[in-house]
Structure 1
Amino acid sequence: MTASAIGPDPTGPRTVEPLGPDSLTWRWFGDWRGLLLAPWAGSMQNMHPELGAGVAEHSRFFEERWERLFRSLYPIGGVVYDGPLAARTAREVRGYHASISGVDERGRPYHALNPGTFYWAHATFFMLTVQVAERFGGGLTDAQRHTLFDEHVRWYALYGLSMKPVPGSWEEFQRYWDHMCADVLEDNRPTRDVLNMRRIARPPLLRLLPLPLWALVRIPLVRLTLWITVGLYPQAVRDRLALRWTPHDERLLRMLGGLVHHAWRCVPRRHRFHPRARAGWDRERGRRGRSVRGAVETPARNLPPEERRGLPQHYVPRS
């Protein structure tokens, strides 16, 4: 891998208009229903050889699973929802990855800013948006899929990396996705670690639940989460991981998706979104008390351990 293969696009900066409230991505990406897909997204990302190697050698995700997940939502969501400062947020996110490089256990070099690697992570976030809408949001028309594709290209361009890995159309993206799932992704330890939730800690929403009760509740919640995750995988990924999925499972997942979609209509609109997304909507709607940035930062409970807060790969808001 040459130096020119990583880092900012050597052709120079591009002027990219950030996504706004008129976009379909704003409607779906920051929706709390996306948490149903967190293990799906994490495992799909980690199956990429370079990305999985970076996680294995540089990440403490599995020691602070919930904290890492919830703090990441802020800057990643900000690239979509930060409006006039979305490009700055994108540069910050890119910067967190600049020092993540090495050689994996099979002797293959990797770098988190290799455009093909970085784009794969972005592609999973795009497909998470599609899956939330398709599976738990009532479905998408073909025109909406094309629109979401076009929006994800603008979203990715904010990072300032090479656009070479980005497919040229929704149809080309589908071929790219199928190729990655069938021919590139691997069954590796970081992927299996994402799927191993037997001893997962209480999520923040249930932090007041007594530990003995959590020990009981955890079992069905983990089984349900893993079942949903397997159902959302492409068949090529299920085959690679030797996971079983039946037509009956598929019917049940479609029923569950319909129930979630209809129940979600009862949730007040403003509370359907992650705080960073909610702040973006508030800014655009002129709610008082919001800054120009219109963003909020992760609370202290989600920060990395004190001794790691100075490392360049960690998002730690300025106090």
Structure 2
Amino acid sequence: MTLAEAPDTTEPLIAHDDSEIELIPPDSLTAELTGHFTFLPVNGAAFVMQVMLPVIGDVVGEYSIFRTDPLGRAVRSVDSVLRWVYGGPEAIEEGKRLRAMHRPLQMRNAEGKHISALNPEAYQWVIATAFPTTLSAGPLVIGRHFDQREQQEIFRDNRRIAKIVQVPMRGYPESIAEFSEYFDDFVENKLVAHPVALELLDQMQAAPALPRSVPRAVRRPLTSIARIASVPLQRLNYLTTVGVMDPRVREILGVTWTDGEQRELERIHTVIRGSYRVLPERLTYFPLAYHARRHHAAIQAMKRRETKGAAYRVSGNGCPA
């Protein structure tokens, strides 16, 4: 989102017809990785980078409920991402819903300039941030860097998701080389240590806020329990979020990153990768991702059976024998 002096009334709500949109292939690397429970912190790194763009940070600071309901916001964000990747036709409808949901998010910033959540530059940046953070997370999630073919596949699916969520594609990078220049420009000229980004990093290291529905009489003891119980997950979330950031992004935020933290992050994810090799998928994937993958596997098994023989033997004249 770039700054504008007048309300943005020209940006169309729907940027792509259904026929222009390609869904994420169920056997893609994107579909294999996104549904894992522990892929969430990678999304956290992308979210922090998003709000470092001033207009996004301003709009999120004004409208988001991440302060009062951080868990609920996170759950709903994950729900949306899972639908983009595993929802089939529902992915397209979710993209339209998101676009419509963001249209009313307009305001004047501290300088009195009008800003809109649907400004193309910012709307593009929201999806673009997923690509560098995913690539950087390769050594953690698969134990090595993604090779060139895998990088191309991830980039291809990033552009597919951009269209799914109705991102205007004019000016969006069309190749990894273009993306490198695009990303460098944002890091060097556009991103700032926005207060919302710093607040998010602080929030990752604090006990999760309890829902307001929790009775006051038990709020204090439950808060203490939550603070203790959440330490391992909070540590994983913070280390992964900061660890997959470009060093230049950490520098903008004023966040230090030590060799010890890097080793701790690598040890944690080594254990996670080992667990994934022995645990059933039902325990490592979000439900929608798990069932979508099982559905695809069942269809593929049926296709393999078809190649081994037909239900009917066909005679030479083309009629069932």
Which range moved further: 188-197 or 213-222?
213-222
In 1, the alpha carbon distance for the partners of 2:269 and 2:179 equals 25
Aligned partner of 1:33 among 35, 38, 41: 38
Aligned residue type for 1:89: E
Which range moved further: 71-80 or 120-129?
120-129
Distance 1:236 1:109, change over 3 A: farther
In 2, the alpha carbon distance for the partners of 1:80 and 1:115 equals 22
Q: Which residue of 1 aligns with 2:207?
A: 200
Does 2:68 align with 1:63? yes
Runs (5+) with no aligned partner, structure 2 = 215-220, 300-321
In 2, the alpha carbon distance for the partners of 1:39 and 1:61 equals 12
Q: Which residue of 2 aligns with 1:175?
A: 181
8 Å contact from structure 1 (residues 34, 128) kept in 2: no
Distance 1:177 1:203, change over 3 A: farther
Question: What TM-score does the superposition give when structure 1 sets the normalisation length?
Answer: 0.78
Q: Which residue of 2 aligns with 1:8?
A: 14
Secondary structure of the corresponding residue to residue 115 of structure 2: strand
Does 2:287 align with 1:275? yes
Does 2:124 align with 1:124? no
Distance 1:268 1:219, change over 3 A: closer
Aligned partner of 1:188 among 194, 218, 239: 194
Q: Which residue of 2 aligns with 1:147?
A: 153
8 Å contact from structure 1 (residues 20, 83) kept in 2: no
Runs (5+) with no aligned partner, structure 1 = 288-319
Aligned residue type for 2:78: L
Aligned residue type for 1:3: T
Q: How does 1:204-243 map to 2 (within 5 A)?
A: 211-218=223-230, 222-223=234-235, 225-243=237-255
**Which structure's CA Rg is the greater one?**
2
Secondary structure of the corresponding residue to residue 4 of structure 1: coil
Aligned residue type for 1:263: S
User: For 1:51-96, what per-residue CA distance to the aligned partner results, in whole angstroms no more than 9, with x for missing partners?
Assistant: 1111111111110001110122112221111113321221112222
Aligned residue type for 2:173: P
Q: Which residue of 1 aligns with 2:307?
A: none
Residue 151 (structure 1) shift:
1.5
Q: How does 1:272-311 map to 2 (within 5 A)?
A: 272-286=284-298
In 2, the alpha carbon distance for the partners of 1:43 and 1:160 equals 22
In 1, the alpha carbon distance for the partners of 2:11 and 2:68 equals 31
User: For 1:166-202, what per-residue CA distance to the aligned partner results, in whole angstroms no more than 9, with x for missing partners?
Assistant: 1011122122222212221111221122112254327
Aligned partner of 2:24 among 1, 19, 23: 19
Aligned residue type for 2:199: D
Secondary structure of the corresponding residue to residue 165 of structure 2: coil
Secondary structure of the corresponding residue to residue 107 of structure 2: strand
Secondary structure of the corresponding residue to residue 151 of structure 2: helix
Distance 1:111 1:142, change over 3 A: same
Residue 233 (structure 1) shift:
1.7
User: For 1:111-168, what per-residue CA distance to the aligned partner results, in whole angstroms no more than 9, with x for missing partners?
Assistant: 1111211111112233444344442222311210111101111221123332013101
Residue 41 (structure 1) shift:
2.7
Q: Which residue of 1 aligns with 2:55?
A: 50
8 Å contact from structure 2 (residues 236, 268) kept in 1: no
Distance 1:175 1:120, change over 3 A: same
Distance 1:155 1:223, change over 3 A: closer
In 2, the alpha carbon distance for the partners of 1:82 and 1:120 equals 23
In 2, the alpha carbon distance for the partners of 1:163 and 1:103 equals 26
Does 2:262 align with 1:262? no
In 2, the alpha carbon distance for the partners of 1:31 and 1:196 equals 24
Question: What TM-score does the superposition give when structure 2 sets the normalisation length?
Answer: 0.78
8 Å contact from structure 1 (residues 90, 158) kept in 2: yes
8 Å contact from structure 1 (residues 16, 158) kept in 2: yes
8 Å contact from structure 1 (residues 56, 190) kept in 2: yes
Q: Which residue of 2 aligns with 1:307?
A: none
What's the % identity of the aligned pairs?
25
In 1, the alpha carbon distance for the partners of 2:233 and 2:95 equals 34
8 Å contact from structure 1 (residues 86, 158) kept in 2: yes
Root-mean-square deviation (CA), in Å?
Answer: 2.8
8 Å contact from structure 1 (residues 136, 257) kept in 2: yes
May I ask how many residue pairs the two structures share in their alignment? 283
Secondary structure of the corresponding residue to residue 166 of structure 1: coil
Q: Which residue of 1 aligns with 2:217?
A: none
Distance 1:28 1:218, change over 3 A: closer
In 1, the alpha carbon distance for the partners of 2:286 and 2:130 equals 15
In 2, the alpha carbon distance for the partners of 1:170 and 1:5 equals 27
